[in-house]
Chains A and B, each alone.
Chain A
Amino acid sequence: MLSVMAHPIAPENLLSPGESSALSERVRTPRSNPAGCLIEFRSVSVVYPNGVKALVDVSTEIEKGEFVFLVGPTGSGKSTFLRLIYGEARASVGDVIVEGKSVRKLRHHQIPFLRRRMGIIFQDFKLLPNKTIYENAAYALEVIGAPSREIARKVSHVLYVVGLEHKVRMFPHELSGGEQQRTSIARALINHPPILLADEPTGNLDPDTAWDIMQLLQQINQKGTTVLMATHNRIVVDSMKKRVLTLGSGAIVGDQLKGGYSGGS
């Protein structure tokens, strides 16, 4: 974290994707068999309406069951990368394929079905302000029309898992940042989604709680959920020895199996 703050422009940012690949421990080459890959970026560029180029020609593949860290300095395009997968941002050029379907070609009314295949932990939590913690977690089940008995059971369980069982009747504004974050995590996990997108899920948590959450994500991953987590947490990334995708100025500048935070360098 600190080193990133001290060097806002990390060395890898100065390299083009091609040059950085020479530095990385092992660069993943596009697979010949696309059937095995769950999420695929095909030369994706994103230009926001204000002209900011958030992603530039990003191509990568994520397989079913993988655990991937997405790292890079602030503003490097991590959140944009995730937003493309759940259809909030659209590729200006290129395409994102999720579970074999082009996100770009999805119609508006199909987007909710895409999102129900994934749990999303948002960087800014995105909790419904007029709903209690319980109702916020339950909402992800209400949208798929789950029976109320099942909802009650699952909500109690997931809130217990994230350690919020004593705050169920409180509203988001009555909670600390970390507690709100855990609510967001609970809502993302409640459906047992095949894909979990986590944008800085430990950002507001103390180290112990952060580790608990990482433990939880790892368990979920071991049960088959593909986890994609954007983070600035160097210690977590370095000690988990998972695949690390490094973004710099909107391009992939490093991609290592069992990598560390510093990515390609």
Chain B
Amino acid sequence: MVLRSLPFFFREVALNLKRNPVMTIASASTVLVLVIVLGVFSIVAVNLVKFSRVVSSQFHMTAFLSENMSLGDAMQIQKQISGLPHVARIRYVSSEEALKRVGEWLKEEINLEGLVKNPFPSSFDIYVDDPTAMDEVAIGLGKIQGIKDLNYARKEAARMVPFLRNIKYACIVLIALLLFTTVLIVSNTIKLTVFARRREIEIMQLVGAAHWFIRWPFILEGVLQGLFGSAVAVTLLYITYTNLLATLVNSVPWFPLVSNPLTLHQILAALVASGCIVGGAGSFIAVNRFLRV
């Protein structure tokens, strides 16, 4: 039945967009504004999260091992380290891996392929449960035979770590709140546009239209309004962010902006999808309110 009436539904939607452009524009521009707000915040959030991850990943201790240590000795040392208080996690970094890491880091500047001898010692990355306890851990590490050198961030900087970790959760909570508000405002706007047509809905019922038959054109219309609004918003966001990226990469190169196109596209696609869903669902709920016999 739905399929058979599909041409009618599309005609209905097209005619309504033509005959009621004000309503469409009202809903679409509400979606536009809110998606921009949501989009700006999401982009800021992913950047903050990336920034905090990059920064907090620096806050571990690195214990360099004496040269030419056997794997067996290294394992012995690992056991001793894990026995220390406050040590949460240990990762063994072989000298080959260290070379590779640095090579990737510097791949544009220096070519390390030509090295005859690997200058990097093997090491342990040591993550502690409380960054402020690093000094205490350091004393313990100093007593272990075979650890040649120790490298870790200063106490003051380490205090940032819990804060940075919480940024992610703060962002998630804020985005959820923002999304909730968006859903409320958009569905309210759509409710108003449907309310303006409640008499039509009543008449449609009186001449024998089934509920789904009345509902579908409204849902399609809501989806379209969401699509219009969010598509324009996403286009604006995309243009702005890529321009910003191009400028900032040059002027503030140390800030690790999210430039991965996949992440960006995912965010923008999610915004368009939520625009459509909120539009359609808002219409659905609003129409149902007037579909009483």
Question: Could you list which residues of chain A lie within 8 angstroms of chain B, going by C-beta atoms?
Answer: 86-88, 108-109, 111-113, 115-116, 120, 122, 126-131, 135, 139-140, 142-145, 148, 187
Contacts and interface: CB of A to CB of B under 8 A. Distances in A.
Contacts of A129: 199-200
**Closest CB pairs A-B (n = 7):** A115-B208, A116-B208, A143-B209, A112-B210, A145-B4, A126-B203, A112-B208
A128 B1 CA distance: 23
B203 A143 contact: no
A148 B10 CA distance: 14
Given A87-B293, A143-B210, A112 B4 contact: no
A108 B293 contact: yes
A127 B16 CA distance: 16
Nearest to B2: A145
Interface in B1-29: 1, 4-5, 7-8, 15-16, 19-20
B208 to A, nearest CB: 4
A143 B4 CA distance: 11
A142 B15 CA distance: 15
Contacts of A87: 293
9 contacts: A108-B211, A109-B211, A111-B293, A112-B209, A112-B211, A126-B203, A130-B16, A140-B208, A143-B208
Given A87-B293, A142-B5, A143-B213, A130 B208 contact: no
Nearest to B292: A108
A30 to B, nearest CB: 29
B207 A130 contact: no
Interface in B140-192: none
> Which of A87, A113, A139, A148: most chain B CB closer than 10 A?
A139
B206 interface: yes
B4 A126 contact: no
A187 B206 CA distance: 12
B206 A88 contact: yes
B203 to A, nearest CB: 5
> Which of A122, A143, A144: most chain B CB closer than 10 A?
A143
Contact of A145 (B1, B197, B211, B293): B1
A139 B199 CA distance: 15
B87 interface: no
A197 to B, nearest CB: 11
Contacts of B208: 112-113, 115-116, 140, 143-144
A139 B19 contact: no
Contacts of A111: 205, 293
Contacts of B1: 145
B210 A120 contact: no
Contacts of A128: 200, 203-204
Contacts of A140: 207-208
B293 A130 contact: no
B207 A187 contact: yes
A87 B207 CA distance: 11
B207 to A, nearest CB: 5
B211 A139 contact: no
B207 A127 contact: no
Contacts of A88: 206, 293
Nearest to A144: B208
Contacts of A187: 207
A139 to B, nearest CB: 6
B16 to A, nearest CB: 7
A137 to B, nearest CB: 10
A142 B11 CA distance: 12
Contacts of B209: 112, 139, 143
A143 B204 CA distance: 9
Contacts of A116: 208
A69 to B, nearest CB: 22
Contacts of B20: 130
A115 B4 contact: no
Given A111-B205, A128-B203, 20 more contacts: A108-B211, A108-B293, A112-B208, A112-B211, A113-B208, A115-B206, A120-B207, A126-B203, A130-B16, A130-B19, A130-B200, A131-B15, A135-B15, A139-B209, A140-B207, A140-B208, A143-B208, A145-B1, A145-B5, A148-B7
